[in-house]
């Protein structure tokens, strides 16, 4: 590794991170305290890894935009978020923006190094607590999505998850082929699926992660 870029608007945080990294024998460390300065430093030094806060001077949570911009330039550079924000929604947004890992600022130095080394090797990193919160958020999101699915769509999902074709679903439910196609089109829009194989995969995931919905989906035929 030839260089790490630290982006944070708190001098004490920058100093603390620098000391921990130097103790870990990182030779080249660059610093920036704003999103703009951080992006310029990234372009100038082309570091091997970026450690960035989300709340940067004058930009609110401008770290999100910075992560996306860096990720456009380099799809493989390791990016670790080092933030005081532990909300699962913010953590999820950071990962969606392109961060490889997320660490809270109240962590111990040894945990900081563990996150640093994991992300540097290309591995994702979340503390156990954050990982549980993000997983719970994902489950709630799936439940909310299923809450908008009608009983007829839910039963269609169960048959799709069972590997049935449009024609087989139509025969089993006693409806027209066109009705099944229209229902599946509505499901694709609600679940964000692009084709039948993807709809099948998502149906399996949604139903398996929401066991309370499965009996409803597998119940007797619904009046269409």
Q: Please check whether residues 162 and 64 belong to one and the same domain.
A: no
The 3 state secondary structure assigned to the chain is CCCEEEECCCHHHHHHHHHHHHHCCCCCEEEECCHHHHHHHHHHHCCCEEEECCCCCCCCCCHHHHHHHHHHHCCCCCEEEEECCCCHHHHHHHHHHCCCEEEECCCCHHHHHHHHHHHHCCCCEECHHHHHHHHHHHHHHHHHHHHCCCHHHHHHHHHHHCCCCHHHHHHHHCCCHHHHHHHHHHHHHHHCCCCHHHHHHHHHHHHHHCCCCHHHHCCCCCCC
Would 196 be classed as within a structural domain?
yes
Six-digit token string for 213? 């919905």
The yes-or-no verdict on residue 212 having pLDDT over 60 is: no
The answer to whether 92 and 101 are in contact (CB under 8 A) is no
Q: Which of 148-157, 189-198, 205-214 has the lowest mean pLDDT?
A: 205-214
Residues 21 and 88 in one domain: yes
Contact 164, 140 (CB under 8 A): no
First and final CA of the chain: distance in angstroms? 62
**95 shares its domain with 193:** no
Give yes or no: residues 182 and 211 share one domain. yes
Same domain, 15 and 102: yes
User: Is 37 within a domain?
Assistant: yes
Examine the domain organization and report whether 118 and 19 are in the same domain: yes
Domain holding 23: CATH number?
A: 3.40.50.2300
**Do 19 and 113 share a domain, yes or no?**
yes
Phi, psi of 102 (to 5 degrees): -145, 130
In a domain, 223, yes or no: no
Q: How many domains does the chain have?
A: 2
Same domain membership, residue 129 and residue 69: yes
Residue 222 pLDDT > 60: no
Question: pLDDT (tens digit, 9 = 90+) per residue, 109-147?
Answer: 999 999 999 999 988 888 877 777 766 655 555 555 556
Q: Are residues 13 and 116 in the same domain?
A: yes
Q: Is 206 part of any domain?
A: yes
Cα 193 from chain centroid?
Answer: 17
pLDDT at 178: 93
| Single pTM value for the model | 0.62
**pLDDT tens, position by position, 168-209:** 889 988 899 999 999 999 888 887 777 777 788 777 777 665
Question: What's the mean per-residue pLDDT of the chain?
Answer: 83
Looking at the structure, do residues 86 and 164 belong to the same domain, yes or no? no
Same structural domain, 134 and 90: yes
**143 located within any domain:** no
For residue 201, give the CATH number of its domain: 1.10.10.10
Q: What is the CA radius of gyration of the chain?
A: 23
Q: Which domain holds residue 175?
A: 148-217
Domain end (from 107, 138, 169): 138
Residue 134 covered by a domain: yes
Whether residues 36 and 100 share a domain: the answer is yes
What is the share, in percent, of the chain residues with pLDDT greater than 70? Answer: 81
32-51 burial string, b = 16+ CB within 10 Å, else e? bbbbeebbebbeeeebebbb
């Amino acid at each position: 590794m030839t260089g790490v870029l630290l982006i944070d608007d708190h001098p004490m945080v920058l100093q603390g991170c620098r000391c921990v990294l130097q103790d870990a024998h990182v030779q080249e460390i660059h610093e920036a305290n704003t999103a703009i300065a951080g992006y310029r430093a990234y372009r100038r030094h082309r570091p091997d890894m970026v450690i960035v806060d989300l709340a940067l001077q004058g930009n609110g949570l401008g770290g999100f935009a910075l992560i996306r911009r860096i990720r456009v330039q380099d799809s493989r550079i390791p990016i670790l978020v080092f933030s005081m924000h532990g909300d699962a929604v913010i953590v999820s947004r950071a990962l969606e923006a392109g961060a490889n890992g997320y660490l809270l600022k109240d962590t111990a130095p040894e945990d900081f190094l563990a996150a640093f080394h994991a992300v540097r090797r290309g591995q994702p990193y979340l503390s156990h607590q954050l990982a549980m919160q993000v997983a719970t958020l994902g489950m709630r999101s799936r439940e909310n999505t299923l809450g908008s699915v009608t009983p007829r769509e839910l039963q269609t999902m169960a048959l799709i998850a069972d590997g049935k074709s449009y024609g087989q679903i139509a025969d089993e439910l006693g409806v027209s082929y066109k009705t099944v196609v229209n229902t599946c089109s509505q499901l694709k829009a609600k679940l964000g699926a692009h084709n039948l194989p993807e709809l099948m995969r998502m149906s399996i995931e949604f139903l398996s992660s929401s066991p309370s919905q499965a009996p409803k989906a597998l119940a007797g035929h619904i009046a269409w």
